[in-house]
Amino acid sequence: MAAEIFTEDYKITNFETNLHGTITLQYLLDVIVQASEDQSQAINLGTEKVQENGVTWVVIQYDVDIKELPKAGQPVKLQTQGTSYTKSFANRHFWIRDMDGHILVEVKSLWVMMNLTTRKMVRIPESVVTPYGSEKVKRLERLHKLHKFDVDNAKKMKFPVTFNDIDFNGHVGNTRYINWMSDTLSFDFQKGRLPTGFSIKFEDEVRYGDQVTSEVNIIDDGNTTVHQIMVDGKARSMAEITWKKIN
Amino acid sequence: MAAEIFTEDYKITNFETNLHGTITLQYLLDVIVQASEDQSQAINLGTEKVQENGVTWVVIQYDVDIKELPKAGQPVKLQTQGTSYTKSFANRHFWIRDMDGHILVEVKSLWVMMNLTTRKMVRIPESVVTPYGSEKVKRLERLHKLHKFDVDNAKKMKFPVTFNDIDFNGHVGNTRYINWMSDTLSFDFQKGRLPTGFSIKFEDEVRYGDQVTSEVNIIDDGNTTVHQIMVDGKARSMAEITWKKIN
């Protein structure tokens, strides 16, 4: 039996959109994460409840396929499903649909469970996955393998990590990273293109007070950009964004 | 007859809140502005419609009184009223209420009309205020006079202005300024305090590609902070935030 799909209505606000009047990549992740947090609350498996066991969910990667970016004021359906899991990994799917049910955005994601004291990966307890109806499997579907980053041809930009970047769980919200990444691209680049998808991978946390360096390679005639977020010479997150020209 | 009060339901998302689990000052402004944009759309006086006359609304100041900051997941009522106007100025009020009608946040604001070509203030056309039921008055209520900024005792922090800071109207969203301001305050300062109100005044635009310097004075034993946003040595926005200690 497939895992339960949780659905909730949402309306894209004006401030979640950019010059194009379409949702920014950061808010795209923010709204789908909101849906999964609402699902978890609804079955009494919110962050606080999970952390009572000394563990917490950590996202490793999002693979985002954008058919059409939601627009300012657009009512949408947010859907999420704790699809399947192995001993150490779990898959969660997300969909943003228009009110007629057409898929606007589809997201696959990979999660692990971390021990809060040792900060090490641990075996996923059945009690935190079975309530979602998640299917136990031998192997999970592979997520996208990112393009190798070319440090020698990188353009760089620095951002301070601030109090307002810290979320209500006390960590720097990792949805923030994708905007630090896309913000390295010029005004003209972004004005003339819309993203058709992205994959983002998280390696290590960024902390309050850090100065992050966001690095970018523009490849494939501007149809693909490759990104990394560095702190103290160490990559904390990598991504690949695909683009289409407009007008 | 008093001007019409527009009301809509809203639910504070998790990502609109910070470490305290309460809405950030930027999102507080974002959600009330959303309510006024929704009111304007509803009576066919949205930004596009107004700009057909070659003019646009520009906010001069918000005075925000916070009784209680809305929390992550809290359903609230957003209210707004185009209260009154003179030849050159207009007042708009906002309220955020809990579902029992108690006021959480009350905001007064002052607006002018700008000619899009000359970038100069112009007389407010009756046609863009009477549909709100706004009352024509001789004088408007005075808004808060900000504390003088002490440049010699300022702490400073720099922020790049990026593509994601540009809103769907093509300008740097001025709600962004208040977070640049509060982000100059240390982690410990902000962890130990909650804002009880703020006044923010807008003097001039910040543009894409600018490097803004956010400057702060901490006065009155940390109960008040005074802020300014500088670009090329010129103040673009000033604010005063009041705080209460917690725990």
Query: What DSSP assignment string belongs to chain A?
Result: -PPPPEEEEEE--GGGB-TTSBB-HHHHHHHHHHHHHHHHHHTT--HHHHHTTTEEEEEEEEEEEESS--BTT-EEEEEEEEEEE-SS-EEEEEEEE-TT--EEEEEEEEEEEEETTT--EEPPPGGGTGGGTPEE-SSPPPPPPPPPP-GGG-EEEEEE--GGGB-TTSSB-TTHHHHHHHTTS-HHHHHTEEEEEEEEEE-S---TT-EEEEEEEEEGGGTEEEEEEEETTEEEEEEEEEEEE--
**pLDDT value at residue A114:** 95
pLDDT in tens, B144-157: 999 999 999 999 99
ipTM summary value? 0.95
| β-bridge partners, B155 | B216
Domains of chain A: which residue ranges? 6-136, 151-245
Residue numbers in A near B175 (CB within 8 A): 15
Residue numbers in B near A21 (CB within 8 A): 168
**Mean of all residue pLDDT scores within chain B:** 96
Confidence bin at A192 (pLDDT 50/70/90): very high
Indicate the residue of A13, A73, A182 with minimum beta-carbon distance to B164: A182
Q: Would you call A208 an interface residue with chain B, using a CB distance cutoff of 8 Å?
A: yes
Fold exhibited by the domain A6-136: Thiol Ester Dehydrase; Chain A (3.10.129)
Chain A to chain B, count of Cβ pairs less than 8 Å apart? 99
pLDDT at A1 over 70: no
User: Residue B34 and residue A14: Cβ atoms within 8 Å?
Assistant: yes
Q: Would you call B8 an interface residue with chain A, using a CB distance cutoff of 8 Å?
A: no
User: Residue A14 and residue B168: Cβ atoms within 8 Å?
Assistant: yes
| β-bridge partners, B157 | B214
pLDDT in tens, A81-117: 999 999 999 999 999 999 999 999 999 999 999 999 9
Q: Would you call A213 an interface residue with chain B, using a CB distance cutoff of 8 Å?
A: no
Q: Would you call B154 an interface residue with chain A, using a CB distance cutoff of 8 Å?
A: no
Within 8 A by CB and 6+ apart from B188, the residues are none
**In the 3-class helix/strand/coil scheme, how is A50-115 assigned residue by residue?**
HHCCCEEEEEEEEEEEECCCCECCCEEEEEEEEEEECCCCEEEEEEEECCCCCEEEEEEEEEEEEE
Judge if A6-136 and A151-245 fold alike in CATH terms: yes
**pLDDT value at residue A62:** 98
Contact present, A154 and B175 (Cβ < 8 Å): no
List the Cα angle B242/B111/B139 in 5-degree steps.
95
pLDDT in tens, A195-234: 999 999 999 999 999 999 999 999 999 999 999 999 999 9
Indicate the residue of A18, A37, A170 with minimum beta-carbon distance to B164: A18
In degrees and rounded to multiples of 5, residue A224 shows phi and psi of -135, 140
Gap between the terminal Cα atoms of chain A: 45
CATH architecture for the domain at B151-245: Roll (3.10)
Q: Would you call B9 an interface residue with chain A, using a CB distance cutoff of 8 Å?
A: no
| CB hemisphere CA count around A245 (13 angstroms) | 6
Which regions of chain B are under pLDDT 70? 1
**pLDDT value at residue B1:** 67
Q: Would you call A171 an interface residue with chain B, using a CB distance cutoff of 8 Å?
A: no
Indicate the residue of B15, B37, B167 with minimum beta-carbon distance to A167: B15
**pLDDT value at residue B169:** 81
Q: Would you call B23 an interface residue with chain A, using a CB distance cutoff of 8 Å?
A: no
Indicate the residue of A37, A166, A187 with minimum beta-carbon distance to B163: A187
**pLDDT value at residue A92:** 98
Q: Would you call A118 an interface residue with chain B, using a CB distance cutoff of 8 Å?
A: no
**pLDDT value at residue A170:** 84
Residue numbers in B near A33 (CB within 8 A): 14-15
